[in-house]
Chain A
């Protein structure tokens, strides 16, 4: 009936802790305690994300226009890579639970093999996450920021996105200040954008095919596209800065809060995966040197498996609320 190992089970009197109503060992119960509290932490983060999203419900970035890249391949592939990452994590959960099953049957070599696969899966996931971050930070098309901190993106008359580099005909951006060529130098300067706002204004005025779309969503949930006249007005009156990529203050895809939450939540989750991989590696070597074989049971594998499945569980929710909804 119960699958739990009870390593410390001794004959104890009921009032001395001999009664085990939950039939779970101390270690596993404590792991469940941790998981419940960590689940509440993550739901706090996701609820905060939901709060900001509801607060800016009419101007929130559309996730499948943000995450459209696959490594080594050019083109527009919304969500495929994230779906791949989800599969990697679910599959590493499968190999983990197979390791637990092998542990129940005391098959050391099988445990080693499945834990190895789990670790590889975890590493692929963390690597993919790092690549997602890099792509997101670097940005794609670039955008203009207005006085109110809103984002203006560029389209041609067929509705395709146009990058800043295709709008500006030349760059009048100055060189970055460096210590060796300045009379007055106050330290590191923030990275300068490739073009200035005036370059973009000039390039935009010169090409009658270009239109602007704002981050405000229409009834159908698409970003509002302005007419040529409105576009010119908007650009000449409101544009103050160039945004290339995303960081904690500016985000070329829309609201900076989206980037903040993206970095924070996927970063926190990625850190969980990372620490899960580390714990998995420790347990993996303990399996190899026979620690659990001598102990007579593989409960440690079960405990780390609980943590690992929890990380997968959180990702299922992050995937839904960041990428799908």
Chain B
């Protein structure tokens, strides 16, 4: 049966010999990323917790970027998104990405607004 897989990851810089070696390769990448996350989560280097980018700690940005990195490889290689047609890929991924960005932006801004209201309110909430 002609089940061909695209065997190149990292934009073609890493090419596996077979689908099975690719699966194990992706597993190794995901494991390394998870280990890095756990180490950073426990060590919490001060450089990363004290400096902020867009009101969020650098450490949290790193976690989020690494999570999206992992999500990409799970979807692309475990769920075989890499082998689907372009139309299929885009209709699944962009739909979710746009709606989620929209939701997260609005909801988080609103949460922060309510925090400010609580903080500068005449009613004291710490009792």
Q: Are A320 and B63 in contact (CB under 8 A)?
A: yes
Q: Are A313 and B24 in contact (CB under 8 A)?
A: no
Determine the distance from Cα of A22 to Cα of B99 in the docked complex, in whole angstroms: 22
Determine the distance from Cα of A91 to Cα of B27 in the docked complex, in whole angstroms: 7
Contact residues of B: prevailing secondary structure:
helix
Contact residues of A: prevailing secondary structure:
helix
Whether A44 touches B127, Cβ cut-off 8 Å, given contacts A2-B83, A101-B20, is: no
Whether A54 touches B23, Cβ cut-off 8 Å, given contacts A22-B84, A150-B126, A313-B74, is: no
Closest CB-CB distance, A156 to chain B, in whole Å? 23
Determine the distance from Cα of A197 to Cα of B99 in the docked complex, in whole angstroms: 48
Contact partner, B63, options A1, A97, A98, A324, Cβ 8 Å: A324
Determine the distance from Cα of A104 to Cα of B80 in the docked complex, in whole angstroms: 13
Total chain B interface residues with beta-carbon distance under 8 A: 57
When distances are taken between beta carbons in the complex, the residues of chain A under 8 Å from B115 are 54-58
A sample of 27 inter-chain contacts (CB < 8 A) reads: A22-B87, A22-B91, A24-B85, A32-B88, A36-B96, A39-B100, A47-B104, A50-B107, A50-B111, A51-B111, A53-B111, A54-B108, A54-B114, A55-B118, A78-B41, A79-B42, A83-B34, A83-B35, A91-B27, A96-B78, A101-B20, A238-B127, A309-B79, A313-B74, A317-B71, A324-B41, A325-B63
What is the interface of chain B, defined by CB distance below 8 A to chain A? 1, 3-5, 19-20, 23-24, 27, 30-31, 34-35, 37-38, 41-42, 49-50, 60, 63-64, 66-67, 70-71, 74-75, 77-80, 83-85, 87-88, 91-92, 95-96, 99-100, 103-104, 107-108, 110-112, 114-115, 118-119, 125-127
